[in-house]
Amino acid sequence: MASGRTSRWLAAVAAAAAAAMTLTTPAAQAADAAATAAAKPRRLAIAIHGGAGVISREQLGPDGGAVYHAGLQEALDAGYAVLEKGGSSLDAVTTAVRILEDNPLFNAGRGAVLAHDGRAYLDASIMSGKDLAAGAVTGVTTVRHPIDLARRVMEDSPHVMLSGEGAEEFAGERGLERVPNEWFITPTRKQQLERVLRGATAPRNELQGLGTVGAVAIDAQGHLAAATSTGGMTNKRWGRIGDAPIIGAGTYANDASCAVSATGHGEYFIRSVVAHDICALVEYKGWSLQRAAAEVVKGKLVQRGGEGGIIAVDAKGEVVLEFNSPGMFRGMRDSSGRRMTAIYER
């Protein structure tokens, strides 16, 4: 009898040991790690920009540009609130950009710079990293929020980009809010155009339009999105289009790598396909987002004579704000508690 109990005890010990060995195999460990990672909450993150260029401190005034920081913070917090409530990255970037489009301090929507004929012509684009869906519009003149129209192109049409009268017609069919072109025009932008047409230099205390506005984000499901909106260049002619509405140049998002929104001298960003190039370095070479952004913005762009910057977020929620110009209006916030807005490198 004792021998029987001993045999059963030895058998139980052997079974337990075998089970332990099975649980500690590489495959089991990998499965356990994957389950742990899946259970861990994803990092939420959003970043925004309001243009890059030469920004002298005296232009900002004695308060260091407090009104610009306030405008960035409003858009940043509104976009992050969407993420915090479980909303999508697409909704977050759309929300942030809409607010920036309504802020006359920035070169998008109301307060956009004016073309040679004295009118505002607006461009915007948006992209989903989940399925690579994208939408863009260019030469819009009456749609209050061009980013909304770009998103409707992405979601409600078989196309990626619509321009001019066709984009306006599509906006009317979708019932988007329309305003007279004069609604976008501010006294500051009129003065800037008049000065350029006269060939005069800018006053030392005038902060000119510095490019686009944009946002990138990652949501709780790990999906990335990017959005960009702009009024383009002061005194632009012949229907000029910059990088902001060009998927791959001014805007790009792919869950496999990163989401990018760019701002700067558009012709250089188009030639260098900046947004996609950064994501390609992350996806195909396995580079960190910081390394990829620096290589493109401070390496390739500088070598080619291009000035500007980007905001980006990768699949891990890491945020990068990179620029090669004297300054860039920017901000970021994530679920680790980081929240900041800035203009200069330091």
What does residue 314 show for φ and ψ, rounded to 5 degrees? -105, -175
pLDDT at 10 over 80: no
- Residue 1 has what pLDDT? 46
Q: Which long-range contacts (CB under 8 A, 24 or more apart) does 194-198 make?
A: 196/234, 196/235, 197/116, 197/235
**Tens of pLDDT, residues 290-312:** 999 999 999 999 999 999 999 99
| Candidates 95, 212, 230, 234; catalytic one | 212
Per this entry, what is the length of the chain? 346
The structural domains of the chain, with segments of one domain joined by +, span: 2-38, 43-342
- Residue 230 has what pLDDT? 97
Average pLDDT over residues 326-339: 95
Whole-angstrom distance, CA of residue 253 vs CA of residue 174: 25
As a whole number of Å, the CA-based R_g of the chain is 25
Catalytic residue status for 263: no
**Tens of pLDDT, residues 139-167:** 999 999 999 999 999 999 999 999 999 99
What is the tally of helices (H) and strands (E) in the chain?
A: 12, 12
- Residue 21 has what pLDDT? 46
**Tens of pLDDT, residues 83-99:** 999 999 999 999 999 99
**Which band of pLDDT confidence, cut at 50, 70 and 90, is reported for residue 36?**
very low
- Residue 63 has what pLDDT? 78
Identify the CATH homologous superfamily for domain 43-342. Answer: (Glycosyl)asparaginase (3.60.20.30)
Higher pLDDT, 326 or 165: 165
